Amino acid sequence: VGPEALSLWKSKSTFTSFGVFFLQMGWGDLGAFGEPSKETPNLDQMASEGMLFLDFYTANPLCSPSRAALLTGRLPVRNGFYTTNAHARNAYTPQDIVGGIPDSELLLPELLKKAGYINKIIGKWHLGHRPQFHPLKHGFDEWFGSPNCHFGPFDNRALPNIPVYRDWEMIGRYYEDFKIDLKTGEANLTQIYLQEALDFISKQQASQQPFFLYWAIDATHAPVYASKYFLGTSQRGLYGDAVREIDDSVGKILKRLQKLGISENTFVFFTSDNGAALISAPKQGGSNGRFLCGKQTTFEGGMREPAIAWWPGHIPAGGVSHQLGNVMDLFTTSLSLAGLQPPSDRQIDGIDLLPAILQGKLIDRPIFYYRGNEMMAVRVGLYKAHYWTWSNSWEEYSKGIDFCPGQNVSGVTTHTQEEHTTLPLLFHLGRDPGEKYPLSFASDEYQRAMERISVVVQQHKVTMVPGEPQLNVCDKAVMNWSPPGCEKLGKCLKPPKSDPKKCFWPH
Amino acid sequence: VGPEALSLWKSKSTFTSFGVFFLQMGWGDLGAFGEPSKETPNLDQMASEGMLFLDFYTANPLCSPSRAALLTGRLPVRNGFYTTNAHARNAYTPQDIVGGIPDSELLLPELLKKAGYINKIIGKWHLGHRPQFHPLKHGFDEWFGSPNCHFGPFDNRALPNIPVYRDWEMIGRYYEDFKIDLKTGEANLTQIYLQEALDFISKQQASQQPFFLYWAIDATHAPVYASKYFLGTSQRGLYGDAVREIDDSVGKILKRLQKLGISENTFVFFTSDNGAALISAPKQGGSNGRFLCGKQTTFEGGMREPAIAWWPGHIPAGGVSHQLGNVMDLFTTSLSLAGLQPPSDRQIDGIDLLPAILQGKLIDRPIFYYRGNEMMAVRVGLYKAHYWTWSNSWEEYSKGIDFCPGQNVSGVTTHTQEEHTTLPLLFHLGRDPGEKYPLSFASDEYQRAMERISVVVQQHKVTMVPGEPQLNVCDKAVMNWSPPGCEKLGKCLKPPKSDPKKCFWPH
């Protein structure tokens, strides 16, 4: 950020707080991004008061690695949130995972803490559920939510139900103490998460402390839920009800900031951890608009995300940016706003977006699309080169697991892992955002674009030092049998004998 | 329109003029509808100052029939703009067509003329090019444009180049006097059409006459073109350049209305005659967003259109409507605004949209999706029932003609004409706007929805009196060899001997 812009916000505020909304929602789920039911008035208003990012990406087509990337500013292949059990496989943190966020990683809240910030996570942590990975050990001061997805209900024998934590200890379990009715889709959770956010903001404002609020809720992740008031209110069915409730919550949180007079001191960003899960559509999954495929894939539908930056008085209202952005940039941008430097002892992949946000600059930077341990594709400017293509295996596909329902691009949405490293498939995302028309290998345009891209890829590969993979080993003994606090509640369960195995990652 | 709203606009103006922008552009081509390059600032502003229609349809997935429907307020199967040469075939008016708009049809400009309106068409007429079909014989006072698409260049032996008319007479031909450079995509035509519009508006304002301006230009129809200033300016390639020039033109026309102080007396509507021609994409075709397939088909991508109503001081800014609308409604709505009744001696399919536009009402009405002589599908509320499915034939498809590139929904995007009249395929367009998930025939929801839809369809079929089909006979002798005015220009060509045949309609 240039000195003028910097002094502008410094003069207006003594601190800048941060809010990050990080959800599973597709590019095409917001009215502002062309969702035809137009049911997100609050998010659309956030966009019209702030800046819409049209070329913004997540770091991975799956939840845990993206969340690790957001908080570390680093690609999952660096911070360990990937697997080497098989080639190019998506991995995450189910409750039998042994790994989690390594102590060696520096998380955004850890760094902000040194500058006096109070940090809270509301919702799904997903960076490991064993005690050493607890968010309060990694810089957060407060937590309300769960370590894993809200799958269930389980019988507490083969699998325990997922615990819900307040700070250090569990206060109950999903389906037992925090009801989710899978039949009706009713759950009151988003309302609880909303209230947590409102209370936290009011408390910090009263104590005049800068804060980082990470609202990482899970209502649009299958099993999708909404509270009673929102059930049946959307044209889009249950998924739409959940979106409407989130939209309403975002609106209430922004209004609270305004009412407390701290909206001009609070930088807020809304985005998503992966593309809509088309496998769960239409009832439990959203929309990636016109983009190809969805969650689990490195096509645009899997990783291009809705993104809105909001900071009244600083970000010009109604702005639109074509800056190539990534969730990892929120790490670096937040540090920049807090007057902190990113760690210099490691590779940071996120860039400072402030010049793009405040001065409308376009920073030249690539986007890497990883699936597990493999760089599947890269975007440079408007060109995207696929070095590997894969939707999912024939075996999974034949079982009805389809990451690209209704879509089929010959030679692109392949059901075997196809290597194109010597002659990448190249798309121009301006003319062809849907990745349907690979450029001719013989064209001058192909040659020119690939010359530029090859340099970027070579540089990336040469300097890549992968982290120790955290998502290789699974063990039923490490599941959420006896989380801290279970004794007080009488909710401790007996774990089975330890039997660590290679995790199986089919996708 | 209720008495309050009516008196409102009556008191504010002595007359209400109409502008209709009618182009070939897809639902997903506008930033306001989620086009990811966001290159239509003027249309987006028109939307934010007016009302966005999200569930608006054209009357046919092809140009001529839609244009006939717009001007008559009647389905093509009634006004004759269809063929019976084969089942469910799209037909239009190439220059060897013998038919055209019948004298028995009453066109919007004919009716408005009686109320003192001056009517002008700028661009493609497409309702027949033989003398009896001339737009000035059907209510228009002025014409600048061509009777057919700007295909070419032709050699003036096998085929004559398409003439450009000013009013009654031709003033030149495409490629000869009105250049289109197919290699570079450069043509100055949109600029000429823009100037015609601006001049007409200023002239009518000066003479205090109410007007109807029908701006039906063709720059986004293959072969796509843009003027030099716009070439190479879009992320989307040549098609995007053409869109940007149209967007710029729309902005200039609206600004002219404002500058002349008549924007509050002018009702303006922007929409499209069919979905984006995906067969021409990506270079020569646009985007239907997340909808299925494109032009030529009765899936949403073929017939759901971008639509914006603009009338400052009357239409609330930033409004959004889910009213099911159709281009035929512009006929009835315009008559309503002019204080005229639609003809009572024939079936009119268009409805008066003013209650939806001015009072936010939702009028219950079906949308019929015709392909030639067949009702392929019907929409009632959020449900769409397909009675027939067809993309195109295997024969055409195997030649590379693909109306649904990258898309394939099993049993839906069929390559044979599939009859579902006894058990229609049913989709819920709220949950599933992409028509990917047919409802289970056994479900209660299917039963309930089909009960309602069946009544609508039965009623429609019982009262349907098809018009005499106009698009059955073709004859090379009727082509644009010697249009009126050719003598003065020395541009008359000798027609071949008459040899009328059944037209061949492959799709």
CA distance A104 to A428: 39
Q: What is the DSSP code (8-state) at residue B308?
A: E
Contact B406 A405 (CB under 8 A): no
State what percent of residues in chain A have pLDDT above 70: 97
Inter-chain CB proximity A34 and B34 less than 8 Å: yes
Is residue A63 part of the annotated active site? The answer reads yes
Which segments of A265-415 does DSSP mark as H helices, in order?
Answer: 300-303, 328-337, 354-359, 394-398
Put simply, the answer to whether A36 touches B55 (Cβ < 8 Å) is yes
* Tally of CB atoms within 10 A around B113: 16
- What 3-state DSSP class applies to B122? strand
Q: What is the DSSP letter of A460?
A: H
Residues A378 and A357 in one domain: no
A326 with A403, same domain: the answer is no
- Asked if residue B327 lies in contact with residue B59, where contact means CB atoms within 8 angstroms, the answer is yes
CB B66 within 8 A of CB B56: no
- The whole-angstrom distance between A88's CA and the closest CA on chain B is 24
Structure tokens at B129: 């090019």
Residue A374 and residue A342 share a domain: no
Contact assignment for A54 to B36 by CB distance below 8 Å: yes
Residue A387 to residues A59, A91, A369, A380, A442: CA-CA distances in angstroms? 17, 20, 10, 13, 17
Average pLDDT over residues A294-304: 98
- Chain A residues in contact with B292 (beta carbon < 8 A): 406
**Among residues of chain B, what percentage have pLDDT more than 70?**
97
Chains A–B, number of C-beta pairs less than 8 Å apart = 118
Cα of B32 to nearest chain A Cα, Å: 7
Structure confidence by residue, pLDDT tens digits, B368-408 = 999 999 999 999 999 999 999 999 999 999 999 999 999 99
What is the DSSP secondary structure assignment for residue B387, as one 8-state letter?
S
Show which of B364, B385, B420 is a domain's final residue.
Answer: B364
Comparing CB atoms, the residue among B33, B237, B431 nearest residue A34 is B33
Residue A196, domain member (yes or no): yes
A327 has a pLDDT exceeding 50 = yes
CA angle A198, A204, A210 (to 5 degrees): 120
From chain B, the residues in CB contact with A437 under 8 A are 281-282, 405
- Each residue of B165-216: pLDDT tens digit? 999 999 999 999 999 999 999 999 999 999 999 999 999 999 988 999 999 9
Contacting residues of B for A292, CB less than 8 Å apart: 406
Task: Return the higher-pLDDT residue of A229 and B2.
Answer: A229
Cβ distance B503 to B469 under 8 Å? Answer: no
Residue A424 lies in a domain: yes
Residue B304: closest CA among chain A residues belongs to which residue? A36
Closest chain B residue to A304, measured at CA: B36
**Same structural domain, B270 and B401:** no
Same domain for A78 and A209: yes
CA-based nearest residue to A167, from A194, A189, A200, A209: A200
Q: What is the model's pLDDT at position B294?
A: 98
Contacts of A203 (CB under 8 A, 6+ apart): none
CA distance A427 to chain B (A): 11
Contacts of B144 (CB under 8 A, 6+ apart): B120, B121, B122, B123, B164, B165, B166, B167, B192, B193, B196
Residues on chain A touching B407 (C-beta within 8 angstroms): 406-408
CA distances from A369 to A273, A278, B233 (A): 13, 19, 28
| Residue B427: closest C-alpha in chain A | A282
Q: Considering only CA atoms, which of A154, A112, A405 is closest in space to residue A267?
A: A112
Q: Is the pLDDT of residue B468 over 60?
A: yes
Residue B434 structural domain: 370-463
A326 is in an annotated binding site: no
Contact B408 A405 (CB under 8 A): no
**C-beta atoms of A430 and B235 within 8 A:** yes
DSSP strands (E only) in B180-228: 211-216
Q: Do A409 and B406 touch (CB under 8 A)?
A: yes
Secondary structure letter of residue B501 according to DSSP: E
Co-location of B360 and B375 in the same domain: no
pLDDT per residue as tens digits for the range B289-348: 999 999 999 999 999 999 999 999 999 999 999 999 999 999 999 999 999 999 999 999
- What are the residue ranges of helices labelled H in A389-498? 394-398, 444-462, 486-489
Residues of A in contact with B305 (CB under 8 A): none
Chain A residues within 8 A of B317 when measuring between CB atoms: none
> Would residue B68 count as lying in a domain?
yes
Q: Is residue A404 part of a domain?
A: yes
Q: Are residues A421 and A305 in the same domain?
A: no
For residue A384, what are the β-bridge partners? A379, A427
Q: pLDDT digits over B214-270, tens only? A: 999 999 999 999 999 999 999 999 999 999 999 999 999 999 999 999 999 999 999
With 70 as the cut, is the pLDDT of residue B9 above it? no
Tell me, what's the pLDDT at B267? 96
Q: How many domains does chain A have?
A: 2
Do residue B105 and residue B163 come from a single domain? yes
Domain stops at, among A364, A382, A412? A364
Determine if the peptide bond prior to B223 is cis (ω within 30°).
Answer: yes
Question: Min CA distance, B314 vs chain A (Å)?
Answer: 22
pLDDT of residue B421: 97
As a whole number, mean pLDDT of residues A405-425 equals 97
CATH code, A150:
3.40.720.10
pLDDT, average across residues B418-424: 98
Which candidate from B31, B281, B320 shows the least CB-CB separation from A38?
B320
Q: How confident is the model at residue B484 (pLDDT cuts 50, 70, 90)?
A: very high
Q: Do A326 and A265 sit in the same domain of this protein?
A: yes
Is pLDDT of A359 > 50? yes
- Nearest CA among A69, A127, A66, A65 for reference residue A91: A65
Chain B neighbors of A37, CB-CB under 8 A: 54, 322, 430, 433
- Identify the contact set of chain B against chain A, taking CB-CB distances under 8 A: 28, 31, 33-38, 52, 54-55, 234-237, 239-240, 281-283, 287-290, 292, 320, 322, 382, 405-409, 428, 430-434, 436-437
Q: B386 and B316 in one domain? A: no
**Would you call A133 exposed, middle or buried from its count of C-beta atoms within 10 A (0-12, 13-18, 19+)?**
buried
Picking from B502, B102, B37, B28, the residue whose alpha carbon sits closest to that of residue B287 is B28
Residues of chain B with Cβ-Cβ distance to A35 below 8 Å are: 34
B329 labelled ligand-binding: no
Average pLDDT over residues A307-335: 96
Are B292 and B431 contained in the same domain? no
Rounded Cα gap, residues B282 and A439, in angstroms: 11
Residue closest to B159 by CA, chosen among B167, B150, B170, B168: B150
Residue range A366-401, pLDDT digits in tens: 999 999 999 999 999 999 999 999 999 999 999 999
Q: Which residue has the tokens 């209400």?
A: B16
Find the CATH number of the domain harbouring A447: 3.30.1120.10
> What is the largest distance, in Å, between two alpha-carbon atoms of chain B?
70
**Best mutation site among B290, B384, B428 for testing chain A: the one with the most A CBs within 10 Å?**
B290
Give the Cα separation of B220 and B193 in Å (integer): 14
Catalytic residue of the set A126, A129, A150, A314:
A126
Residue A413 within any structural domain of the chain: yes
As a residue count, chain B comes to: 507
Tell if the CB–CB gap between A54 and B34 is shorter than 8 Å.
Answer: no
pLDDT at B10: 39
The distance of A31 to chain B (nearest Cα, Å) reads 8
> Could you read off the pLDDT of A252-270 as tens digits, one per residue?
999 999 999 999 999 999 9
CA distance linking residue B235 with residue A356, whole number of Å: 19
**What is the 3 state secondary structure string of B426-463?**
EEECCCCCCCCCCCCCCCHHHHHHHHHHHHHHHHHHHC
Running DSSP on this structure, what letter comes out for residue B118?
E
Q: Which residues of A touch B52 (CB under 8 A)?
A: 38
**CA end-to-end span of chain A:** 40
Q: Helices B41-49 & B238-259, crossing angle to 10 degrees? A: 40
A251 & A265 share domain = yes
| Nearest chain B residue (CA) to A283 | B431
Mean pLDDT of B487-494: 97
DSSP state letter for B109: H
Report angle CA A89, A92, A96 to the nearest 5 degrees: 115
Check CB contact under 8 Å for A320 and B38: yes
Residues of A with CB under 8 A from a CB of B: 28, 31, 33-38, 52, 54-55, 234-237, 239-240, 281-283, 287, 289-290, 292, 320, 322, 382, 405-409, 428, 430-434, 436-437
- Can you give the pLDDT at residue A8? 38
The answer to whether position A53 is within a domain reads yes
**How big is chain B by its Cα radius of gyration, in Å?**
22
Total Cβ atoms within 10 A of residue B345: 5
Burial of B252 (0-12, 13-18, 19+ CB in 10 A): middle
Domain boundary among A349, A364, A379: A364
- Residues A34-85 have pLDDT tens digits of 999 999 999 999 999 999 999 999 999 999 999 999 999 999 999 999 999 9
B428 carries an active-site annotation: no
CA distance A407 to A299: 12
**Angle A238-259/A189-206 helices, nearest 10 degrees?**
10
Average pLDDT over residues A212-233: 97
Note whether residue A219 is domain-resident.
yes
Answer whether B431 sits within 8 Å of A283, measured CB to CB.
yes
The shortest CB-CB distance from B382 to any of A235, A430, A433 is to: A235
Residue B63 annotated as part of some ligand binding site: yes
| B37 → closest Cβ in A38, A405, A430 | A430
- Measured between beta carbons, which residues in chain A are less than 8 angstroms from residue B234? 430
List, in order, residues 6 or more apart from A348 with CB less than 8 Å away.
A73, A74, A328, A331, A332, A342
Q: Inter-chain contact A406–B292, Cβ cutoff 8 Å?
A: yes
The predicted structure's pLDDT at residue B16: 87
Spatial distance between the Cα atoms of B63 and B277, rounded to a whole number of angstroms: 11
Considering the domain boundaries, does residue A482 fall inside one? Answer: no
The residue from B87, B126, B134, B314 that is catalytic is B126
pLDDT at A14 (0 to 100): 54
Helix (H, G, I), strand (E, B), or coil: what is residue B132?
Answer: helix
